[in-house]
Amino acid sequence: MGIYQKLGWFFKQHKKRYIFGIAMLMLTSLANLVPPRILGLMADQLNKKQITWFSYFKYTGLILVAALSLYVLRLLWRSLIWGGATILEKELRAKLFAHFMKMDRTFFQNNRTGDLMAHATNDVMAVQEVAGDGILTVVDAITLGGCTAVAMILFVDLRLTLIALLPMPLLAIFARYFGDKLYVAYDKSQAAFSKLNNKTQESVSGIKVLKTFGQAKQDTNSFNKMVDETICINKQVFKWQSMFDPLGSLLIGLTYVIAIIYGSILVNNQSITVGQLVSFVAYISNMVWPMFAIGYLFNILERGSASYDRIEKLLVQKPLITDKNADSLLNIQDLHSDLEFNIDSFAYPDDVDHNILKNIHFTLKPGQTLGLVGKVGAGKTTLIKLLLREYDNYAGNIKFGGENIQKIPLKELLEAISYVPQKNFLFSTTIAGNIAFSNPYATMDEIQAAAKKAGLHDDIMAMPEQYETIVGEKGVSLSGGQRQRMSIARALLKDSRVLILDDALSAVDAKTEGIILHNLKAEMHDKTALIASHKLSSVMDADLILVLKHGQIVEQGVHDELLKQKGWYAKMWERQELQSKVGENIDE
Ligand SMILES: Nc1ncnc2c1ncn2[C@@H]1O[C@H](COP(=O)(O)OP(=O)(O)OP(=O)(O)O)[C@@H](O)[C@H]1O
C-alpha cells in the first residue's frame, strides 16, 4: 500500500475525482446486492404459490432499476477512475520527457536509450495501473466482497456462509500466484514475438545480400531456431493459463456444490427458505471477482511500486549543466528570437587539446533557416549540442534574443526548442502516443495535423489500426524513414520557437522530403530553424548555409551563391543531382 503514499501528490491533485469515483464504485457494490435478494424473495413467493401480478411486476421492475443504476454507476466510475489513471500516465510521461530533455550526455551514457524507453512505457503503464485497476481491485475486494458476505450472513445464514465460502480464499491465493506467472510469461512471449518480427523484417529486406553471400541457409537455420524458441516461450503462457483457468472453475464449482448440498440440508430442516438458498447461490457469483481482485491487487501494487521507484530514481538525477548563471526573472517568451552564435573555439572536455569548433560566427533572424552541411565529423552536431547547452565550456557566447543562453533558465530554453536528433527513439505504444510524447495533452486533431505535416499520415492510415497501432518493441516495426517522420511530427506538435533537424531526413525519399520541407516552411514563418544534413536538397532553400570542415566555416551563403563559389558545396550538389537522376550510390 506504500505506493499510494508515494503517489499521494497525484491523488491530492485529483481528490474530488477519486472521492466521487470510489463513491460510485461503492454504490455499484451495493446495487449488486439487490438482484440476488429479489430473486430469493420471488422464489419464495413462487414456491408458496403466493406470487401476484403486482409483486411480479414490482420485483422485475426493481431488478430493471438495479440493472439501469448499475449501468450508470459503472459508466461513472470507469470514466472517473480509469480516466484518472490516464491522467497519471500522461503526467508521468510529460515529467520524464521534460527530464530527458534537461539531461546531458553523461545521463544518456549512464542510461541506455532502450532502458529509458522501457521506463517511459512499461514502468509508466505499471504505475498507471495502480491508479486505475489498483483502486478498482482495492475497493471491489473490500466493498463488493465485504457487502456480499454481510448480505449472505444477514439475509441467509451465517453457517452456510462460513462453510460455502471456504474455497474462496484459495481463489485469491491462486490468482496471485498464477497472475504473476502469467504476467511474466506473457511479457516474455511478447518480447520473443517482436524479436521474431524484427528478424523476419531484416531477413526479408536483406534477402538479396544474404543470397549473394551464400548465407541464405545459415539465415534460415537461425530463423528456424528463433521460431522454436518463440513457440517454447508461448507454450509457457498456455501452460500457466491451462493450469489456472480450470483450477479457478474447480474452486468456484466447489463453492456452488457446498452451497447447494449444505443449503439443501438447511432448507430441509427449515433453517432457511428455498428463496434464501436461491439468493445465496446468486450471491456466490458476486464473490468470485473480489477474490480474484485480492490476488491481482498484490501483483498490481508490487509491480507499480517497483516501477515508480525506478522512475523516481531517474527523476532525481541532476544534469551536470546547471542554472548557476541563470537569471530566474528572465522569461524566454519576452525575448526577441534572434539567434547569435559567436564561438571562438570549443573542445570536448575529454579531449581538451583538440578544438572541434573554431570561429563560428553567424546571426539568424526570427523565421530564418540555417543549413549546416559538411563531411561526417565536420562539427554539425557539436554546434547544435552547444545551443542545447550540453556543454558550456566554449570560448565565446551564444545569444537568444540578445541574452546569453547561459542566463536563460535551462528548462525554459529547452522548452523553446524542438529537436529532432539523428537517432530517434520509439516507445512501445500507439502511433498517437508516440507522436504525443512531446505534448501529452495534444488532441487527436493536433496529432493528425502534425503527422500530415511530417508526411506520415498516409502511412499511418495504411496501418492495421491506424493511429492506435502499437509500434516499437511490442508492435509493428517502422522503417527508418517512418521513424524519422514520426520524430518530426513529434517536434512539430510542440509549439516551440526554434526547430532543429539533425540529419532528420536522411532516410526519407526525395518526393516526401520535398513535401515535408514545403510544410515546414509554412510552419516556420516566425520560427528559427537549424537543419543539419548530408543531403543538400534539405538545405537548398535555407537563408544561410554554412559549409563546415574540421569545425570551421569554409563556405557560406545562400544556395545560388554557394554554387557560384564552385567549392565543396557546388561539387557535392552536382554529385547529388547526378545521383538522384541516375539513382546510383556515389560516395563522398
Ligand atoms: N563526446 C565527444 N567527445 C569527443 N569528441 C567528440 C565527441 N562527440 C563528437 N566528437 C568529435 O567531434 C567531431 C565532430 O563531430 P560531430 O558529431 O559534431 O560531426 P558531424 O558533422 O555532426 O558528423 P555527422 O555528419 O556524422 O553527424 C568528430 O571528430 C567527433 O569524433
- Mean pLDDT across the chain: 84
**pLDDT confidence of 586, banded at 50, 70, 90?**
very low
Residue type, 277: L
Q: Whose CA is nearest to atom 28 of ligand 1?
A: 377
User: In what side-by-side order are the strands of the sheet with 528-532?
Assistant: 417-420, 498-502, 528-532, 369-374, 544-549, 552-557
Domains of the chain, first to last: 2-315 (1.20.1560.10)
**Residue 532: Cβ within 10 Å count:** 25
Residue 337 has pLDDT above 80, yes or no: no
Q: Which of 284, 192, 184, 195 lies closest to 241 in space, CA to CA? A: 184
In the chain, the percentage of residues whose pLDDT exceeds 70 is 90
Query: Which of 117-121, 307-311, 337-341, 419-423 bottoms out in mean pLDDT, i.e. has the lowest?
Result: 117-121
What does the longest C-alpha to C-alpha distance in the chain come to?
109
The mean per-residue pLDDT over the stretch 520-546 comes to 86
Residue 273 has pLDDT above 80, yes or no: yes
The mean per-residue pLDDT over the stretch 235-245 comes to 82
User: In what side-by-side order are the strands of the sheet with 355-364?
Assistant: 355-364, 339-347, 395-400, 403-404
Q: Ligand 1 in contact with 547 (CB < 6 A)? A: no
Per-residue pLDDT tens for 274-323?
A: 999 999 999 998 888 888 888 888 888 888 888 898 898 888 887 766 66
**pLDDT confidence of 588, banded at 50, 70, 90?**
very low
Q: How far is CA 353 from CA 105, 347, 359, in A?
A: 20, 7, 16
379: CA distance to ligand 1 center in Å?
A: 6
**SS3 annotation, 314-343:** HHCCCCCCCCCCCCCCCCHHHCCCCEEEEE
Q: Ligand 1 in contact with 381 (CB < 6 A)? A: yes
Place of cell 495535423: 449
The mean per-residue pLDDT over the stretch 543-566 comes to 92
Atom of ligand 1 nearest to the CA of 422: 27
User: Residue 587 has what pLDDT?
Assistant: 44
Report how far residue 37's alpha carbon sits from residue 151's, in angstroms, rounded to the nearest whole number. Answer: 9
Residue 155 has pLDDT above 80, yes or no: yes
Query: Which of 3-7, 81-85, 326-330, 530-534 bottoms out in mean pLDDT, i.e. has the lowest?
Result: 326-330
Report how far residue 554's alpha carbon sits from residue 547's, in angstroms, rounded to the nearest whole number. Answer: 6
Which set of grid coordinates corresponds to residue 476?
509493428
Per-residue pLDDT tens for 405-415?
A: 888 888 788 88
**pLDDT confidence of 201, banded at 50, 70, 90?**
low
Per-residue pLDDT tens for 61-88?
A: 999 999 999 999 999 998 999 999 999 9
Query: Which of 18-27, 51-60, 187-196, 261-270 bottoms out in mean pLDDT, i.e. has the lowest?
Result: 187-196
Is 482 in contact with 516 (CB distance < 8 Å)? Answer: no
Place of cell 531456431: 225
551: CA distance to ligand 1 center in Å?
A: 9
Look up the ipTM and state it: 0.96
Q: Which of 393, 414, 412, 396 lies closest to 404 in space, CA to CA? A: 396
